[in-house]
Amino acid sequence: MGPPGVGKSTQAARLKDRLGLLHISTGDVLRWHIAERSPLGLAAHAYMHRGELVPDELVTQMTLSHVLSPDGAHGVLLDGFPGTTGQAHALDAALATRGRAIDAVFYLTAPAEMLIQRLAGRRICLDCRATYHLETMPARVSDVCDGCGERLLPRNDDSRHTAWRRLTAHPGQTRPLVDRYTHAGVLHRIDGRGAAAEVTARLLTALHATGLGESGKEVRRATG
């Protein structure tokens, strides 16, 4: 969890292989549906364009089908989900059907001015979804993805106006979830400032403190 631009996708991409987990980014799945012009994409597009949350009924089923897929059998790393208490209820219920539960929730934090700067310089690959930043994480060749050679573009919802809307709405939207996971004893606040590698190190330290390790084996055991 964390506000737009705090580095959730960057960190999830860095952690997923080390932890042997399936990475599910709700925002990426939605952007894929929009690019494909699927019925779900057409329904979600206007909400995302305005910087609003997409309604639970569109997001929940889509995400949980990935969580419960065979690829997620060894554990999943959710990025941007749940975004509401309705989604959190649905996630708990779905995990319970497999005898599983949430092991840890990481809440990344950073000052608002840093988030605005990160959003303004953010670029994504339209094909493989890799994330870059013009100043802090530039591609080797300007506007071209290092991984797959596709074009890099700003996200539609990173425009100044929409980014500001998303940033100001975030604390109110997430407070019930922060309370929920604090109460459950699984929430860890992580300082999202600094280089990506420093933030990853903080996440791994917090993860180890929960008894979850770096190998997929340990994580599998911990997630049942």
4 binds ligand AMP (CB under 6 A): yes
- What would the DSSP string read from start to end of 50-89? HTPPPPHHHHHHHHHHHHTSGGGTT-EEEES---SHHHHH
164 is a contact residue toward ligand AMP (CB under 6 A): no
Interface with ligand AMP (CB under 6 A), residue from 77, 80, 118, 188: 80
Q: How far is the CB of 180 from ligand AMP (least distance, A)?
A: 14
What span, in angstroms and rounded, lies between the C-alpha atoms of 62 and 144?
A: 30
Interface with ligand AMP includes 2 (CB under 6 A)? Answer: no
**Residue from 134, 137, 83 nearest 105 by CA:** 83
Phi/psi of residue 190, nearest 5 degrees: -125, 130
CA 116, CA 122: separation in Å to the nearest integer?
10
- Of residues 45-64, which lie at the interface with ligand AMP (CB under 6 A)? 47-48, 51-54, 59
Q: Minimum Å distance from CB 192 to ligand AMP?
A: 14
Site for ligand AMP in 171-210 (CB under 6 A): none
Interface residues with ligand AMP (CB under 6 A)? 4, 26-27, 30, 47-48, 51-54, 59, 80-83, 87, 157, 166
